């Protein structure tokens, strides 16, 4: 199986269109101090090459396809064709849904998500641009292995969704904590991805807290691609760009009390990789103390185009 990172940044990307904070500025300067990054998505293909699965559909999907030859129509394929056979959604955040609107054009693929996330699509009529004669919406159960299929059959990739502490999408928040924060209901899920070999990859771009269940689940995995939105909980306020903490946004910080570096220590995970990185996070600065801290702790920082061969 190949896993390819299409977008390693959180919503907004790096640089973000309206952001004048140091990190976006450095990304624009292009001196290599901060690499530009697109918004949140990975792709996977099984060893027999029967089609790609996108995990989340980023607002940057068009650019991601243009930059990734494997996702473009093959030269000898039909006039309208795509190697993208399926899309799996891990939550209903804008940075994970908006790319669906660019996949209209009457191209067949299967769209997988939990019933909660599919309900958000149902409630937003703009997603009817995905013609149901071409795009099948398939409800994914939680805690069950599912062999993914494209319109032409099995893809050689098996996934299992599992709930992680999280919240409803920002645009669905009501201000009522009982509605907005849902620990186990499928609003936000992690996904275990397996090809034909034994190697397991976990993809968890949003997670509000690392609990024992999650720790035990990832033990021994080949790779963990985990929520690296913020380095510290108060980072956005300290940068002067917002008032919310990481946790309030549904993202556990990398450091501090309950931070992900400590929480995932000593679990025999071969590769630990931060992904979904916000444009305030100093690990984006190649020469920063914070970058050194995560690499010293055995983590790497995802870049667009990173490939894992499992
Ligand atoms: C998040 O990851 O917290 C969301 O993508 C935020 C947003 O909707 O902008
Ligand atoms: Mn996000």
Which structural domains are found in the chain, ordered by start?
2-303 (3.60.15.10)
CA of 39 to the centre of ligand 1 (A): 10
Q: Is the CB of 10 under 6 A from ligand 1?
A: yes
Q: How many CB atoms lie within 10 A of CB 124?
A: 12
Distance (Å, rounded) from C-alpha 85 to C-alpha 82? Answer: 7
147 CB burial (10 A radius; 0-12, 13-18, 19+) = exposed
Distances (CA, A) of 237 to 27, 232, 243, 267: 21, 10, 5, 32
Cis peptide before 212 (omega within 30 of 0): no
Q: Is the CB of 205 under 6 A from ligand 1?
A: no
Whether 183 has a pLDDT exceeding 70, the answer reads no
**Tens of pLDDT along 48-83?**
999 999 999 999 999 999 999 999 999 999 999 999
Model-level pTM? 0.97
Look over the chain and give the mean of its residue pLDDT values, rounded to a whole number: 96
Closest residue (by CA) to atom 9 of ligand 1?
A: 11
> Any bridge partners for residue 111, and if so which?
87, 137
Measured in whole angstroms, the distance separating CA 73 from the mean position of its chain's CA atoms is: 24
First to last CA, the chain: 5
Distance (Å, rounded) from C-alpha 242 to C-alpha 43? Answer: 31
Minimum mean pLDDT range among 49-58, 178-187, 214-223, 301-310: 178-187
Ligand closest to 7 (CA) is: 2
Distance (Å, rounded) from C-alpha 155 to C-alpha 47? Answer: 9
Closest residue (by CA) to atom 4 of ligand 1?
A: 93
Mean of pLDDT values over 235-248:
96
Residue 17 is predicted with a pLDDT of: 98
Ramachandran category for residue 223: left, alpha or beta (phi over 0 → left; psi -120 to 50 → alpha): beta
Which segments of the chain does DSSP mark as H helices, in order?
22-29, 61-66, 94-97, 115-123, 177-180, 212-218, 235-239, 260-263, 289-296
Number of helical (H) and strand (E) elements in the chain, helices listed first: 9, 16
Whether 184 has a pLDDT exceeding 80, the answer reads no
Whether 205 has a pLDDT exceeding 60, the answer reads yes
Closest residue (by CA) to atom 3 of ligand 1?
A: 249
The per-residue b/e assignment along 227-260, b for 16 or more CB within 10 angstroms, e otherwise, is bbbbbbbebbeebebeeebbbebbbbbbbbeebb
């Amino acid at each position: 199986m190949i896993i390819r990172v299409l977008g390693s940044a959180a919503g907004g990307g790096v640089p973000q269109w309206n952001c004048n904070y140091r990190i976006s500025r450095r990304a624009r300067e292009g001196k290599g101090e901060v690499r530009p990054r697109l918004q949140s998505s990975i792709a996977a293909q099984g060893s027999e090459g029967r089609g790609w699965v996108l995990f989340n559909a980023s607002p940057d999907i068009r650019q991601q396809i243009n930059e990734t030859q494997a996702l473009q129509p093959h030269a000898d394929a039909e006039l309208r064709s795509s190697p993208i056979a399926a899309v799996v959604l891990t939550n209903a955040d804008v940075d994970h849904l908006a790319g669906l609107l660019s996949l209209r054009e009457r191209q067949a693929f299967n769209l997988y998500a939990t019933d909660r996330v599919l309900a958000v699509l149902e409630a937003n009529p703009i997603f009817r641009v995905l013609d149901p004669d071409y795009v099948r919406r398939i409800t994914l159960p939680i805690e069950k292995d599912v062999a993914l299929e494209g319109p032409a059959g099995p893809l050689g990739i098996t996934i299992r969704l599992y709930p992680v502490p999280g919240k409803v999408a920002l645009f669905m928040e009501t201000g009522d904590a009982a509605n907005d924060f849902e620990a186990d209901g499928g609003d936000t899920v992690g996904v275990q991805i397996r090809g034909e070999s034994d190697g397991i990859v976990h993809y968890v771009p949003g997670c509000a807290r690392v609990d024992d269940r999650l720790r035990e689940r990832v033990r021994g995995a080949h790779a963990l691609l985990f929520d690296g939105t913020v380095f510290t909980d108060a980072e956005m306020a300290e940068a002067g760009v917002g008032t919310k903490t990481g946790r309030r946004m549904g993202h556990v910080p990398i450091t501090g009390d309950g931070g992900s570096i400590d929480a995932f220590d000593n679990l025999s995970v071969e590769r630990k990789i931060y992904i979904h990185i916000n444009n305030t996070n100093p690990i984006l600065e190649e020469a920063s103390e914070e970058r050194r801290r995560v690499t010293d702790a055995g983590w790497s920082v995802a870049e667009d185009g990173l490939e894992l061969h499992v």
